Structure 1
Amino acid sequence: MRPALRRLFLTALRTDAEAGLADGRWTTRCLHCRTRLSTRADGTPEGHASLEHVVPQAWFGRRAAATLTLQVGDEPDDPRNLALACARCNQDKGKGPDARGPTDARAHEVVARLLATRLARWRDDAEAG
């Protein structure tokens, strides 16, 4: 795994109030289904853990997504926009809401709900273990 991707995993974990580091492993819950996920201490995912861009990268710069992107800044890799998800949930979101785009009311609603969940789980990186 590329070091840059491992750093994004670590950023998502360190800023997730539900994530914890113990015995050389980070554990948290899937943003969607709450399945337990883990990575090694260096951010290398284990099992089905995947990196979720809550507001899809393709939605940045699109007027219909402005209310969402304003909550996470100008960059898709902003820590507020990163979370861990199980691969199945992440793929389902990618094929469904992400692909339909921000002009689809249901897609916008799903992403807004996930973003609210992510922001509710926010912790400052300095507080992380």
Structure 2
Amino acid sequence: MRAALRRRLLQAVHTDALAVFDGGVWQTRCLHCRRALSLREDGEALGTTSLEHVVPSAWFGKRAAAAFTARVGEDAEDPRNLALACAACNHGKGCSHDARGPGDERAREVVSALLDARLARWRDAGPRD
């Protein structure tokens, strides 16, 4: 796994208020379905853990998504926009809602709910980051 991806996975878990570090492994829940997820201390994803861009990267720079992107710092890689999700949920969102774009009402509803959930789970990274 690339070092940059590991860094982003660690940013997501370090800023997730549900994440617990135990025995060299981070434990948290999928942002979508709340399935248990694990991430090694070095950022290696275990099982079905994947990196979720809550506001899709492709939406950045689009006028219809301005309200969303402003909430995460106008940068797709901002830790507020990164979360852990199981691969099935992440893939499903990418194939449906992300692909529809910010002009689609249902896609905006899904991204809005996920962004609210991510920001509700936010915590400052602290000394581990």
Q: TM-score normalised to the size of structure 1?
A: 0.97
Q: Which amino acid aligns with 1:123?
A: R
User: When the two structures are aligned, how many residues end up with a matched partner?
Assistant: 129
**1:22 — aligned with what?**
22
Q: How does 1:112-123 map to 2 (within 5 A)?
A: 112-123=112-123
After TM superposition, give the deviation of residue 36 of structure 1 in Å: 0.2
Segments of 4+ in structure 1 off by > 4 A?
none
Residue 40 of structure 2 corresponds to 40
Give 1:127 deviation, angstroms: 6.5
* Distance in 1, Cα, partners of 2:49 & 2:97: 20
The secondary structure found in structure 1 opposite 2:13 is helix
**Runs of at least 5 residues in structure 1 that lack an aligned partner in the other structure:** none
State percent identity of aligned pairs.
61
* 1:10-66: CA deviation from partner (whole Å, max 9, x where unpaired): 000000000111100001000000000001111100000000000000000000001
**Alpha carbons 1:24, 1:41 under 8 Å: kept:** yes
TM-score, normalization by structure 2 = 0.97
1:98 paired to 2:98: yes
Cα RMSD between the aligned structures?
1.1
| 1:78 paired to 2:83 | no
Q: Matches of 1:67 and 1:4 in 2, distance apart? A: 27
Q: CA deviation at 1:105?
A: 0.4
| Alignment match, 2:52 | 52
